[in-house]
Amino acid sequence: MTFPMVMVFVVIAVLFVRSWPEVVLTAAALVLPSGSFHPSLAAVTPIGHLNPFTVTVLVAGTFYAVTMPGALADGIQAAPGVIGVTTMIVGSVAAIGASQMVALYWVISGGLVLVLISSMLTGRYRESPDKVVGAVAVGGIGSAVSVLLEQALGRHIPWTSGDPTPIDFLVFRPSGLPGNSLLASAALAIVLAIVITSDMTIRVRIVAGAVLISAIAATLTRSALIASSIAVIGFLVYRNRKHRWMTTTRLAVLVFGIPGGALYCWTQFDLVVKRLGGSAWGSDSDAMRTENLNIAWQQFSTHWALGLGFGGFQRYGVGLYGSDHASLATADNMYLTAMAEVGIFGVLVFFLIAIFLNGRRARQARSGASASRLVPLVAVAVLSLFFDSLFHDSVLFLFAVALIAAVPPQIIGMAGSSSAARKVAGVVDPLPDRDGPGVRGRVQHGGEGWPLHD
């Protein structure tokens, strides 16, 4: 994507970020064609390359934090902000320990960007959670439609002049706006998990789910299909003990969703086998992935204390494979990459932060929060088994949304709060039961909560 086009988008983002931060972020992560700038117009900083999404978040997020008093402090206290600050601390320690100042680029593009996303989304989610989820759903469906359009045409559409090269090996794989079938399908799998666990009407969830699953299957990506399947199973299994199990939504998923999705995915199975060179369970790409996993483990064993610094494994891989094959310089596993790059120290810190956030969520669960809100995070966790998921813009953004949904920001001061904010806070309002007969109430529990249905 060209630099002038991005600057136009950034200006528009700044103009609208105070009113619709969720729309700005969704457009930047899911709708704006992803990837790096065109090589001839690359924006280079002393510590690395900045891509369109990073530039948008840094500029619009800084403007939002400056013009919205308390937004930055609010965002830091929310779950994505906690992870972002932790990333900055752990990443800085690893960079200094490895004497790799270039690794600070990842501290900015990961940690600082996550903090700014949290600052822009936290207040908005507190006031209007449905609008945040709705924006993500619309952006995801737009990306899915672009994938299905390419599948129907049988060719890639040049969305912009600087899109990444699509992954076409042995068979055509539509990639849509993201420009990469792996990233497109990963983002759509997380969006699917967010949509099916949301409070949207059952009809909207069924239609959106059908479009998203069709696009995921069209990309012929195994990791996204596995993550989507586990997300659907998680939605059916995980719930608060106070919820009715067989809601209308779950019945529709069991009767129509699973059989229909399985049938469609089965029609794509031959193409998946062809893409993998004749075997669905082993291919040249799988052999390369196994080799890279071994290399990542070796690097962790060598730099076990503080790691190589963020981006360290990629730098090592480029040196190993050469710049002409830089795409191979990945461990294809977020967990092993983290171990190699931040060492035992970083892994332990992230583990303790995860326990802290889970404790915060557990306090909400005892008061009625739905366990199904964890499903999008489960999707991210599954995808991270197959590639370095959080190093990519769309997944990082959706990870932040999933964190806020799983651990909602606390309402501070109920007086004068909007109706939507009071819903998130758990104030009892008489509402019709959308998923079946009976009365659907909401639990009061001191500022945090979820409706008693899925």
- Report the amino acid identity of residue 169: F
Q: Phi and psi dihedrals of 29, rounded to 5?
A: -90, -35
Nearest to 61 by CA among 3, 120, 16, 132: 120
Instruction: Give the C-alpha separation, 361 to 359, whole Å.
Output: 5
Residue pair 47/102 in contact by the 8 Å Cβ criterion: yes
Low-confidence residues in the chain, pLDDT < 50? 35-47, 161-164, 278, 280-281, 368, 411-454
Alpha helices in 110-159 (DSSP H): 113-127, 129-153
Residue pair 91/110 in contact by the 8 Å Cβ criterion: yes
Instruction: Give the C-alpha separation, 48 to 65, whole Å.
Output: 24
Q: What is the pLDDT of residue 151?
A: 87
Instruction: Give the C-alpha separation, 232 to 189, whole Å.
Output: 10
Q: Kindly state the tokens that stand for 168.
A: 């076409």
Find tokens 């006031």 and name the residue: 127
- Distance (Å) of CA 320 to CA 97, 100, 393: 22, 18, 26
Nearest to 93 by CA among 246, 308, 243: 308
What pLDDT digit, counting tens, does each position of 432-441 carry? 334 444 433 3
Q: What is the pLDDT of residue 189?
A: 94
The three-class DSSP label of residue 428 is coil
Nearest to 103 by CA among 116, 90, 115: 90
Q: What is the pLDDT of residue 353?
A: 92
What pLDDT digit, counting tens, does each position of 214-249 carry? 899 888 888 898 898 888 887 777 655 555 555 666
The three-class DSSP label of residue 310 is coil
DSSP assignment string, 40-74: GG--EETTEE--HHHHHHHHHHHHHHHHSTTHHHH
Instruction: Give the C-alpha separation, 423 to 427, whole Å.
Output: 6
- Report the amino acid identity of residue 431: L
Q: What is the pLDDT of residue 437?
A: 40
Instruction: Give the C-alpha separation, 348 to 311, whole Å.
Output: 19
- What is the b/e burial string over 384-413, where b = at least 16 CB atoms within 10 angstroms of the residue's CB? bebbbbbbbbbbbbbbbbbbbbbbbbbbee
Q: What is the pLDDT of residue 409?
A: 76
Find tokens 């806020």 and name the residue: 404
Q: Kindly state the tokens that stand for 11.
A: 């200006």
Residue pair 400/122 in contact by the 8 Å Cβ criterion: no
Q: Phi and psi dihedrals of 364, rounded to 5?
A: -70, -40
Instruction: Give the C-alpha separation, 124 to 314, whole Å.
Output: 36
DSSP assignment string, 302-361: HSTTT-S-TTHHHHHHHHHH-GGGGGG---S-HHHHHHHHHHHHHHHHHHHHHHHHHHHH
Residue pair 1/10 in contact by the 8 Å Cβ criterion: no
What pLDDT digit, counting tens, does each position of 273-330 carry? 555 554 544 555 667 778 888 888 888 888 888 888 887 787 777 777 665 555 566 7
Residue pair 10/59 in contact by the 8 Å Cβ criterion: yes
- Distance (Å) of CA 50 to CA 38, 42, 57, 226, 326: 12, 8, 11, 31, 18
